[in-house]
Structures are given as C-alpha cells and as structure tokens.
Amino acid sequence: MNVPLSKPYVSQEMKTRVLEVIDSGQYILGKNCKEFEKEFAQYVGTKHSVLTSSGTAALFLCLKALGVGPGDAVLVPSLTAFPTVEPVYHVGANPVFIDIDQTFTMDPGHIEKVLKERSKDPKAGKVKGIIPVHLYGHPANMDAILDIAKRYGLFVLEDCCQAHGARYKGKRVGSMGVAGCFSFYPSKNLTVFGDGGNLVTSDDKISQYCRMLRDHGRKEKYEHELVGYNLRFNEIQAVVGRLQLQKLDWFNDSRRQVARWYAEGLKGLPVVTPAAEDWAEAVFHLYVIQTSQRNELADYLKGKGVQTGIHYPIPNHLQPGVVNTSGAQPQLERTEEAVRKILSLPIYPELEKEKVDYVCASVGEFFSRG
Ligand SMILES: Cc1ncc(COP(=O)(O)O)c(C=O)c1O
C-alpha cells in the first residue's frame, strides 16, 4: 500500500471553473480575486483580506505596513517553516527566537523572559512585535501572547499559514492579532494548485497599504503612490480558492477525524501523540508524533510505502543562513529536543481509515520487532 504524506483535494467543478476563467480573458486581480477576498475575510471574521502571491509575501507586506525596519527586532518561534523568518530579514530587521511549549507553538513564558532580559541590554534592538505561528494547525496560546504584547507595546502578527479555519477559544486564527497571514501552498489545508497567500486584517490602513504595495504601489492604473512590488494573485487560482473555501470546514472535520483514528490506533505504542489544549480547535495541517527512534521509524515506514516528513529537521535559530547573518544563537532546549523526535504522519481530507489503520499497524510492527 502507498500512503502519501499529503494530497490536495481536486474536483471536476474546480477544473471546469478554471477553464471558464481561461476563456474569460481576465487573469489578474479580477472578479474572482475580489470575491475570494470578501469571502475569506468573512470566514475569518476580519474586515479585509488582501490576496498575495504567497504566504511569505503576505508576511513581508504586513511587516512593511507595520513599519518594521532596520535595527528593529521581531520575536518569532524557531520551530516553524523558514519563510516565517525570511520576511523579518527582508525588511532589514532581526529575528529573536523563542522556544516552544507542549503544543509546539511559542511559549509565552519564554517570550516574557526574553523581553525582560532585552530591556536590561541597552545595545539590544527595539522589539517591535511578535509573530506567533499556529504550527501544525494548532493555535498558539493567544490570550497570553496578546497580554504580553499589550504590556510591552508590541504588535501581534499571526502566522496562520498552517491553520486555515483553526479556532482559539471560538475565534478564528487571523482575527486576533493586528493581521494574520495565510499560505495556499499545495499541501496546506486550503490550496489553489500552486503558490498563493492572503493577509487578513480589520485595520483599514494596513489593508490599503498592503493592497497598494502588492501591485507596484498603485493608487490608480498609472499613478504610483508608493514604490511597490509585484506580489499579486490571479483569477485562475482565485476561482479554485473560492471553491476550496466552501469545503474548508469539511476538510478540517475530515482531518480531525483522521487525527482521532491515529490517536486510537497508536494507543499503547511508545510514541507521543499531539497535545491538544482545551481552548484549541486544531485543524491538523500535520499529524506530528514524537519518538526517540524517529529516523529508524521513518525508514521502516518508507519501506512499507508510507511517506513521512520532518517539520522541521533544523530549527531556524541554527539554520546556516541565520547563524551567518545574525551570529551565534542562544540554546532553545525544547525546540532542539523536539527536532530530534518529531515525525509527521500522512494526513489529508480524503485519507481513508483503511490507510490510517495500515500506518498504525506498521508503526506497531516497527516497535514489536525484537
Ligand atoms: C508556518 C509557515 N509560514 C509561512 C509559510 C510561507 O508560505 P508560502 O510557502 O506560501 O510562502 C509557510 C509555508 O510554507 C508556513 O508553513
């Protein structure tokens, strides 16, 4: 049996609508983009959304809009996709890496500790904000993070790239910070058959600024208020995104069902299954288990036709690009321990119970070999 790590959902209706858009002759920031932006903002519960060419572009535009620049510092988790960190460098600022809690998201206790230490260091760059990442689809501890941000006068920019539709105490991720950024990369909970992204906000100024900046700083067709970029979105992908959005709750319910099957099937085996907080409605972008025999288990599963992943094998504070740019980094114990043990098992909305049972049985076989 072959079980892929992830698989995007494709329907006949999506293919038909893509062909209609091709025939329409309108390809960039047209009617479907406008409607998708409205529908997405409504879904998250924000006033605006601005489609972008990727999640990375969405984060970059937000940081520009928030006035982050050279000499500034932004708090980011180390355990996240590298593109959470890149835009911080791209605006000329420096990331300050934060350790994780039991949910693999930013540890508020460590944020507070780092801020206290930096307040005693006159040479430390000014911390402007925090980027919590709702990693693997599990919301970060937002009340604690928002409280710290308020006390220190910092913005909170949510990285929701792995958490479309997740809720924290009933609120959708992306609606709690000053803005939230999403990715539509093919493995994500909502995909558009290529790269794509979106930023959501209820702040009129951020929305207007990002909207202009993503399209060459345009106010009118040939009037450029700002020197901007081309970080736009397109009609073919927007029509797909709109149809995917209609199914997002179903996708997430299915992912949660797969997670329950795994929790049941892995019971009693020497692996740690994902922690879920009471306040979280997670959307299981990834299903990440932990074992000290991670590499051996991954090899064994590969031999059984089961694709797995490691998200992520090198924490960002130890990435060569970071160390070369920002110098030696402090130790982040929980993150460094996690990256040695984490293993992502296959998960996607259409994953059948039979396949989940097969993966669990294969994990069981691995541990029962003498
Ligand atoms: C947590 C996180 N942040 C940012 C990104 C960047 O998104 P994109 O690949 O669309 O640029 C991703 C996706 O890879 C991600 O998983």
The Cα 285–Cα 248 span in angstroms is: 12
287 ligand 1 Cβ < 6 A: no
207 ligand 1 Cβ < 6 A: no
State residue 122's pLDDT score: 85
343 alpha carbon – ligand 1 mean position (Å): 19
247 DSSP β-pair partners? none
221 alpha carbon – ligand 1 mean position (Å): 30
Q: What is the crossing angle of helices 353-368 and 235-265, to 10°?
A: 50
The Cα 17–Cα 21 span in angstroms is: 6
94 ligand 1 Cβ < 6 A: no
| Residue that the structure tokens 């949910």 belong to | 103
In angstroms, the Cα distances linking 32 to 149, 214, 321 are 36, 17, 38
Residue 368 near residue 270 (C-beta atoms within 8 A): no
For the chain, percent of residues with pLDDT exceeding 70 = 100
252 ligand 1 Cβ < 6 A: no
- Substitution candidate for ligand 1 out of 162, 198, 214 with most atoms within 8 A of CB: 162
pLDDT single digits (tens) 317-331:
999 999 999 888 889
pLDDT single digits (tens) 286-327:
999 999 999 999 999 999 999 999 999 999 999 999 999 988
56 ligand 1 Cβ < 6 A: yes
With a cut of 90, say whether residue 41 has pLDDT above it: yes
pTM, two decimals, is 0.98
235 ligand 1 Cβ < 6 A: no
Helical (H) or strand (E) element with 224: strand 223-224
Structure tokens at 155: 């913005």
State residue 370's pLDDT score: 65
52 ligand 1 Cβ < 6 A: no
105 ligand 1 Cβ < 6 A: no
Helical (H) or strand (E) element with 278: none
Q: Which atom of ligand 1 is nearest to the CA of 162?
A: 16
**Region for residue 195 given its phi and psi (left: phi exceeds 0; alpha: psi -120 to 50; beta: otherwise):** beta
Backbone angles phi, psi at 300, to 5 degrees: -65, -45
For the chain, percent of residues with pLDDT exceeding 90 = 95
Q: Which atom of ligand 1 is nearest to the CA of 183?
A: 10
Residue 274 has what DSSP assignment?
Answer: P
161 ligand 1 Cβ < 6 A: yes
- Substitution candidate for ligand 1 out of 51, 56, 133 with most atoms within 8 A of CB: 56
pLDDT single digits (tens) 169-181:
999 999 999 999 9
The Cα 247–Cα 9 span in angstroms is: 10
Residue 107 near residue 275 (C-beta atoms within 8 A): no
The Cα 370–Cα 367 span in angstroms is: 8
State residue 125's pLDDT score: 85
62 ligand 1 Cβ < 6 A: no
- What mean pLDDT, rounded, does the chain reach? 97
201 ligand 1 Cβ < 6 A: no
Confidence band for 360, pLDDT divided at 50, 70 and 90: very high
pLDDT single digits (tens) 231-279:
999 999 999 999 999 999 999 999 999 999 999 999 999 999 998 899 9
The Cα 251–Cα 9 span in angstroms is: 9
